[in-house]
Each structure stands twice: as structure tokens, then as C-alpha cells.
Amino acid sequence: MRAGTLAFLVAAVSLCAMNGCGFSITVPFDLIPPETTPIATPTEQAESIVYEDPGTIVVYHGHACAESDQPGAEVRLRVRHELKLPQYVGSATVILNGWQVKYLHDDHHVADFATVIYGISFERNILRWNASGRLSDKNFDDAYGWCYRYTAIGWNPTALQAVVDHADEDHVMRPVAQDNTTALKEMKGFLPVSALPARSPIAVLPRGYMTAYLGDADHHLLQLAYNLDYSEKFVEHEKKYSRISGTACCNSADPALPAAANYAEGFVSWDSKTIFKDNGLRRDYHNSELVSALGGPDVGVIQPPFTVLPREDADSTTGCIIGGAVLSTREVTTEEIPFEYAIPMLTGWELAYACDDAHIRVMGAWIERFSYARPSGGAGGKLQYSVSTMFHDNQSGEHISSARAHVLGFKRIAAAPTPAPIPGPVKP
């Protein structure tokens, strides 16, 4: 058992002893699956070049899907990917840009779900990674399908000054205690980034998330949400951060930090929020996320505000729309972007039923496609993308959804254009 998992288990048991919990404690599955997880053959996959500036940067966007449909217990899905990049590319990484999970034969309760990209490597112009996903009720015996969206970036480090840190385990964040009093939970993310260029901007890149009810339990869903909030080169003494390799990072005894400092080079921090709820005000659940860090003089990020708050079930007899669109897609245009190259990163989404909690047949949020027109004639660049959501059971009731994308930028232009507009909620 990993040390982080053991610490989480001890904290959960201690909390239960104090609060008199009546459920059984089980250790939830890890966000990153073990190497023994079988490799599935994708049922569907595609990728294309979004744009390329030869000699400088190339950006790909794609997806892959897999299914688990077997008698008895299902298996966690895992796929591998290899991408051959142009010869000028000397650095590369991949971002998780969406997910979708579905029960294949019927709707069901939900105990947990996960999507993650991990094991990233780049050697001899080949970018490799693993991706994994899961959807389960408490018995994990219902057939399911899973898809993920990714954006791969390759660049020439002599043309773009950017360095990526996409290690795995030390980049997993998860709370060690169930200290939330509502369905809203917070993960206080923290990374040491001494390997990245000093005194340079740092962008936090999404690579995975999971949530699972504690104990032998599954439930209807009313609302599911995730928000990777603003990231800053800021750390606080005595604050308990959520790194899996250790929760306390910043205290006066830490030799990496100056005494009593709340800001230091070589670190980045952020707060992520999650919601996983039925009609109940609060149920204990486990959650985690995986991120990469990208830093350098040519790196920048635009971080529009986005808020997620727990919803309460509506009165199903009044003001409730039955039916409606199963798939919601919204086209977003963001202009005057102050970078030569820009990429949207899906860092926030909220999915909810309009009326009441219910089973789930399919749910997901993803960036379908995007394009970027570089700055020209004194104007900033134009980023266009489509973001889609699904959240329904067999009744196909209307869902409420919203989403937010951070904009990852490379090479800031000299002129400072007007601020970019903030995309609104996704609607059917």
C-alpha cells in the first residue's frame, strides 16, 4: 500500500471515530492505475493537427475510446498512445481536454468515475503516454464505455523557451481528511518547480481527476463539478497542501523556503474544487487530480473566473423541464489574445440535473475542436473552440451545464490588447 493511501485511510478512520460514522471504510482505487492493468484495444480513435508553425510548434487534438463488457466484474480501461512528432520538436507534452463515460446497457447508480493521462515520455521525437478511465456502481459489474480528449503539443526549445514537468505520483493531489461540511470539497494543490526556469510564468495543465464515494456505497447523482482554479507562484507557511507524497509542505523548518515567506520562487500553488452529490447535503467521498507544470519566459496563461457551488434538488412539480437535449454544445470565440500561439484547456465544468437526482446513463465534458488565428495587424489572436457536455439517464431529462477553459499561451506579443471575453455557460 502506498504511503499516501495509508495516510488517507488513517485520517478517514479517525474522522469516523470522532463523528460516529455508520458506513464501512474501504480504500478507494488510485487515480493512476497499476502497471498490471490490461491494455484495451480502442473502439474508436482519431487525431489531427490543429495548427503548425514549422520549426517552432505543432499542436494536435484527438480522442480515443474503449469499452469493458464482460460477465462478472468489469475491468478498469487503459489505452496507450504514441505520436511521432516533427524533427524540429525537442520538447513535448499532452493535456487532458475532456472525458465521457457511459453505461452500455442501462442506467445505474454511480459509486465512482475517473479519467487520467499518465506515464508521459518523449524520446527520439516519439511522444508516448497512457490514459485510463472507469465508471462504476458499488459492484463494478455493469458494462461501460469511456472516451477521453487530449491535446498534444510539441515545440522547438530554441524557438520557444518553455520547460515541462509531467511527472506522475508527486503531481497527484488529494485531501487526506473528509473535512468538508457540504458536498463542495477543496484540494490545495502545491508543486515544487525548481526544474523550471526561475522567475518565469508557470501554467498548471490538467491531466486527470477522479471521485469516489467512501465505503460500500453508490447513489443517484444530482450534480458533478470540477474547477482547477487560479494558479500562482505563491505558498503559505503552515498551510496543509494536498500532494500525495506529503501534505505539509510549507513551514518554518522547510530549508527550501525563506523564513516566514508566503511567496517564493520554485513553487506553484492553486485550489481546486469538486462536487459529487445526490439530493443529500453531504456524503463523504474521495477525490484527487493529476496535473503538469509548464514554465518559462515564453509561457503564459489566461485564467477566466469560474465558480461551482452545490445545488439543492428542485421541486419536480414546478418550474421543471422534462425532456430536452441530451448533448449540449456551445461555440466560443475569444479575441485579442496576447500570444503568438494559444490552446484552450478544459479546467472547469459543472453537470447537473434540472429537476431531481437520478440514475446516470452517460456523462461527460470535453473540448470537441478548436482553432487559432495568430495576431496580425496590431490585433491580438482569435481562439475558437466548441465545448460539449452530456449528463442524462434513460429518461433523457434536461441537464444544466457550464464549462470554463484556461488559455495556455506561448510567446506574448509586445502590444497589450484588451482583456479577452469570458465564455458563458454551456446551454442545450
Q: Which of 78-92, 258-272, 408-422 has the highest mean pLDDT?
A: 78-92
Among the ranges 83-97, 200-214, 217-231, 374-388, which has the highest mean pLDDT value?
Answer: 83-97
Q: What is the DSSP letter of 37?
A: S
Model pLDDT, residue 5: 37
pLDDT band with cut points at 50, 70 and 90 for residue 8: very low
d(CA 236, CA 213): 30
0.85 surpassed by pTM: yes
pLDDT at 396 over 90: no
Q: Are strands 223-232 and 339-353 parallel, antiparallel or unpaired?
A: antiparallel
Residue carrying the nine cell digits 515544487: 192
Task: Give me the helices (H) in 142-234, please.
Answer: none
Q: Residue 325: exposed, middle, or buried by beta-carbon count in 10 A (0-12, 13-18, 19+)?
A: middle
Residue with cell 530549508: 255
- Please check the confidence at residue 318 and state whether its pLDDT lies above 90: no
- Indicate if the pLDDT at residue 238 is higher than 70: no
Average confidence (pLDDT) over 227-247: 74
Give 128-146 pLDDT, tens digit per residue.
999 999 999 999 999 999 9
Q: pLDDT digit string (tens) for 297-306?
A: 999 999 999 9
d(CA 342, CA 41): 32
CA pair distance 10, 21, nearest whole angstrom: 14
Q: What is the pLDDT of residue 259?
A: 56
pLDDT tens digits, 340-374: 999 999 999 999 988 889 999 999 999 999 999 99
- Which residues have a Cβ under 8 Å from the Cβ of 277 and sit 6 or more positions away? 183, 221, 222, 223, 283, 310, 311, 357
**For residue 43, what is the DSSP state?**
S
Task: Give residues with Cβ within 8 angstroms of 359, minimum separation 6.
Answer: 107, 108, 109, 220, 221, 393, 394
Mean pLDDT calculated for residue range 248-276: 67
- pLDDT tens readout for residues 72-116: 889 999 999 999 999 999 999 999 999 999 999 999 999 999 999
